[in-house]
Amino acid sequence: MARDAGYDDFLDALADGTGYYLACENDHGSLPPRRVCPRCGGDLREEPLPETGDVASYTEVHVATPSFVDDAPYVTAVVDFGPVNLTGILRGVDADDVETGMTVTVGVDGGASAEGEAGGDGGETGDAETERSVVFEPR
Amino acid sequence: MTNVRVAGVGLTHFGSHPERTSRDLFAEAGAVALEDAGVPREDVESVFYGNFMGEVAEHQGHTGPLAAEALGVRAPATRYESACASSGVALRQAVKDVRNGEADVLVVGGAERMSHVGTDETTEGLAIAADDLYEVRAGLTFPGAYGLMARAYFEEHGGSREDLAHIAVKNHANAVGNEHAQYQKEITVEQALDSPTVASPLHLYDACPITDGASAAVLVSDDYADEHDLDAPVAVTGTGQGGDMMALQDRASMAASPAADDAAAEAYDDAGIDADDVDLAEVHDCFTIAEVLAVESLGFAERGDGITAAREGETRKDGRIPVNLSGGLKAKGHPVGATGVSQLAEVTSLLRGDHHNSDAVSGARVGVAHNAGGTVASATVHVLEVLD
Ligand SMILES: [Zn+2]
């Protein structure tokens, strides 16, 4: 599976617990791949992503795309980390117990080959079975 | 500057036509529009064509020339793609060309064939209108994205699934008698509430169906209409377009559609009207919550009040501002690339008085069409008026 430069580097960092976001001189937050700030066109620097965020909105998806059919129903959430929001799959909590405002941690799931290769470099082996997903879990 | 006159409009039946190619669907709608206009094919100077998922659903790109040849028109043709707003943006470009004096006779329209590939593939096809890296890979579907927006709206402004159900009920009722509509039957609030979950809080009856169909319109200049003695009393007097960040996560609020706010402001300014002047509207209700956001963006309700507009009767057939007298995307159907121009066709018929719901709005002079792409990262608004 081809790597997407910037995005997969971001996921590698998230998986290693060293997640980051991009910020411009006006402190607009954004996520890679970016060459300039999408709001003001300014230069970008990396800043550490806060370790936890709060669920801003969520949906329990029952009718999924083919790649997610086996997981349905599952919860996809947008989580507010302050400078940026991030979308991912919310695990480890019953859908009926999810609430906006609940605090979650972030990680990365999937992308490992059938042999069980995982971790930060797993994405570039070329034999990954699934695309990786951002995942959240209640803290 | 010339008026942009809507000389003729045409629609296929919207519904399940799994064996008909989109080129064939467009050929039918285009022929109806040319016949309605009384304009000969050879006078058409260019074709503006909206299509979203040709590559995914029909293994077919480069669909502009194919649409023109299916219509029997030998003229330059361009395909416009802006997700569900594909023919809305095509319409905007056609309007500009007539205004600029580039052309006197244009055909604009769109088509989509979706039902033959099945729900899984259609769900995947529609998902490409979202951000692949940050949304689709997080399991987000098109209904899921609107589910996030609905939840955010409820959190920010209040509202309930029952409020949304009243929108579905209204639009189904409006579709009764629309021969083009996919569903020509009424539903109840209870049926809507009891339908299966698609992406919470949205259920099946909050969602538009998967639809095959095509739309077309013939736009002409004042000079051409006068020289050929055309009966074309309706003109596009305002056009506007707005844009936003693709992914919901990157927006300041998921409970509003600023791209449509901007499109409406531009279109109203262009036409020299404001929201109070509008007699009726066709809006992009791909999901019930989308109609709420549209009604607010168009200025028919304050932010946070759109949720109850249908329930309180404001947007019903006999209300202050009837919305989606065609049945909307919800009941009439949503052949993605055809939707923008199908709204133009409905508003034109309503203003001309030859629509199945014309009696509800007799004397209407100003109508609006609101077309949105994806989760409203793109939006167009067009104002149509009866000329004196
Ligand atoms: Zn910036």
Strand residues in B264-362 grouped as ranges (E): 280-282
Select from B17, B78, B5 the least CA-distant residue to B28.
Answer: B17
DSSP for A102-127? Answer: -EEEEEEE----TT---STTGGGSS-
- Site from A31, A62, A80, A102 to mutate, B interface, most B CB atoms within 10 angstroms: A62
Q: How far is CA A12 from the centre of its chain?
A: 10
Give the pLDDT score at A118.
44
- Mean pLDDT confidence for A50-65: 96
Q: Where are the domains of chain B?
A: 4-118+209-386
> What CATH number was assigned to the domain covering residues A50-113+127-138?
2.40.50
Q: Which residues hold their Cβ within 5 A of ligand 1, which is an ion?
A: A 24, 26, 28, 37, 39-40, 42
Whole-number Å distance between alpha carbons of B127 and B123: 6
Q: Given the DSSP bridges, would you call strands A133-138 and A85-90 parallel, antiparallel or unpaired?
A: parallel
User: What distance in Å separates the CA atoms of residue B196 and residue B362, rounded to the nearest whole number?
Assistant: 38
Reduced to 3 states, what is the DSSP secondary structure of residue B171?
A: helix
Matching residue, tokens 């279109």: B267
Distance spanning both ends of chain A, measured CA to CA: 32
Query: Looking at domain B4-118+209-386, what is its CATH homologous superfamily?
Result: Thiolase/Chalcone synthase (3.40.47.10)
Tell me the pLDDT tens digit for each residue of B309-335: 999 999 999 999 999 999 999 999 999
Phi, psi (deg, nearest 5) at residue B281 = -150, 145
Using pLDDT thresholds of 50, 70 and 90, give the confidence band for residue B388. confident
pLDDT value, residue A112: 63
Catalytic residue among B13, B166, B334, B356: B334
Q: Give the pLDDT confidence of B180-224 residue by residue, as tens digits.
A: 999 999 999 999 999 999 999 999 999 999 999 999 999 999 999
Q: What is d(CA B18, CA B297) in angstroms, rounded to the nearest whole number?
A: 35
pLDDT for the residue A120: 44
Model confidence at B120, in pLDDT bands (50, 70, 90)? confident
The reply to whether residue B148 touches residue A38, judged by beta carbons under 8 angstroms, is no
pLDDT given at position A122: 42
Report, as an integer, the average pLDDT of A12-25.
97
Rounded distance between C-alpha atoms, residue B349 and residue B342, angstroms: 11
> Scanning every residue of chain B, which has its alpha carbon at the shortest distance from the alpha carbon of A79?
B249
The rounded mean pLDDT for chain B is: 97
Asked about B84 being catalytic, the answer comes back as yes
Say yes or no: ipTM exceeds 0.90. Answer: yes
Cα gap B24→B304, rounded to integer Å: 43
State the pLDDT at residue B118: 85
Q: What is the model's pTM? A: 0.96
β-strand partners of B9: B217
Task: Report the distance separating Cα B8 and Cα B88, nearest Å.
Answer: 17
